[in-house]
Structure 1
Amino acid sequence: YTQTKCPPQVKKVKLLSLPSLLGGSNRGRSSSRKRQLSSSSEDQMKPPPTRQRSLSVQRQSKVQSSGPPSSPVTFKTHGESFNMAKLIQTTLLKPDVFQSIISEIKTELISELKTSLKSAITEAIQDAIKPLNTIINQQQQKITSLETENTQLKQHVDKALSDASERYEKFRNLGNAIFTSMAENKGLKEEVATLNADIEKLEHYGRRTSLRFHNVPLSKEDLQKTDEIIVNIANLKLGISPPLCVNDIKRSHIIGKITQLICRFRNWKIKNSIYMSKKKLKNNSAQIFITEDLTRDRQELIKRLNQLKKKHKKIHSFCTFDGRVFTKKNSGSDKILIKSFQDVEDLKTE
């Protein structure tokens, strides 16, 4: 048979064996069998009408474009001749061969498309990532700057916390010292208050036998006769019994203004008899009146009770007996013992 070059389109196509294309290869068969096989093989190699038409059209176009047709290539085998062009056309038009060619073309196209798409996608991604990389670099620089600032701030905060901790410790120690001092001061105040109360009691005890005579008319010649003046007031104006004598007086003298006398009697009984008779001096022409010789604290209590009576109208009256201070809210109420300034404030807020 004559060798011909295979077209490039079917370079990778696996050609069928000649016996399968020819429909058989036994030489011992009869000539009738050969003719039947030849006719059947020719029928098999005939392309479908549509394909023959298209091939004839293509052949005519080739003839028109390239000039007069060349002689067909043939080969012989087993005593039969075959047209090479028809054989190739028939082979290519078989479904399995056609599908194989399509599959190969599809594989090549997909591979090339994958390569092209991969390159295009890579370039597109790189183009899209470039501004993002720029932004990321800028953000990274900002983050680095912020981390540096954060580190500095942390150092400042740590230092401030350390200073604050030291100051707090100092203040805490100072507070403890203050509380200790306050406790000690409170204890000292209580001790002082106790001592003052004791002193006030002792002072009051020393004044239990003394009385003060107010608004007593005196002249300069009477300054040395205070005992006789007090005896005259007790006997003539108060009418005490038994009558008072000079020996019942330990000491008397002028205090403050010239019209005020203070007198210490020989005993508390004499002093009390005169003090209980003081009501007889009410409405006297000289307006002489008698009070107990009170300590400063008790004099201040009397002063505040007087304001409470005249200014605030909270009490009806007040008086003293043996150095103790009493008050009444109204004329028919019981006497209330006033022991401290707080008692006066309580009456004021009622």
Structure 2
Amino acid sequence: MSPKTRFNERLLSSFLMIASIIGGLFHLYTGGIGTFSSMVQTVFHWLIMFSIVFLLYPKKRERNLLDWVLTASSLAVGIYILMTWESRVNRVSPILSALEIIVGVALTLLVLEASRRCTGNFLAITALVFLIYAKIGPYLPGILRHKGYSWHRVLSTLSFAETGIFGNALNISSTFVVLFVLFGAFLNASNGGKLFIDISYSLTGSSRGGPAKTAVLSSLLMGTISGSPVANVVTTGTFTIPLMKTAGYTSEEACAIEAVASTGGQMMPPVMGAAAFLVAEYIGIKYGELCIAAFIPAMLYYLAIFVIIDFISIKKVWLVSIEANYRY
């Protein structure tokens, strides 16, 4: 590794660490000590997330200048909105200044590009189609027709109001979701994930199809503290997938079982996927009530996986339990 590459890696690591620490401390402070206005909370949350997203999801394998430019642009846009949002609170006219237009366009493009990198082209294209639809409504037939909106109105609503990008969904993310994510990260860093795997193995390791059932039960337990299927797979799958393969499951079967089990973590209370917080907010019920309602469906989901694994184990009589010490 060349000195230049080592310097770039150190710079990247330092930047990500500093941004993550600032973001974590900010959310811990607002979650338990002090408060800010919803707009400040939401915009600062966006600023922190977008200061790292383009570096965590680079366009190519090697991070290049474009990724740093997008990161710097995100910081500039977020800081500008934080510094000027109060002056727009009582503004009636949707007409924007030239600088606000530039910031609004940049913000929209940054969100589209981040969506494309994180989730693929589909979501970004869908958002772009609806942006265009806001403008071409007068030219469409039938029920698709509407009066249309000016680009000033679209940018004003998207970028500088609490009903657009910085609306309800991002506000919930900045106040509730991020705290549960931090909790799960702290627990996992303190070997909480290993504890769940140990418990699962002790309960199911000696049963028929034990390794696969260990994967399911550990994913269920991990799902109680993490609403992210990806985080669930990373935490439990690194051990359970090789364990299942040594017991006779094919690579496809082992990966499928872990993926299905980890996906169920989104609906496992008390920490469910981000969509659960949106559901509670939009239909006007307490999050605790939603957790109670989701408990039985979640347990039925995992029970179904257990039953299917048992059937597979009966069909393939060579899939026996593993009685051995393990390390990971």
Q: Which has the larger radius of gyration?
A: 1
- Identify, as 1 or 2, the structure richer in strand: 1
- Identify, as 1 or 2, the structure richer in helix: 2
Where relative contact order (Cα < 8 A, 6+ residues apart) is larger, the structure is 2
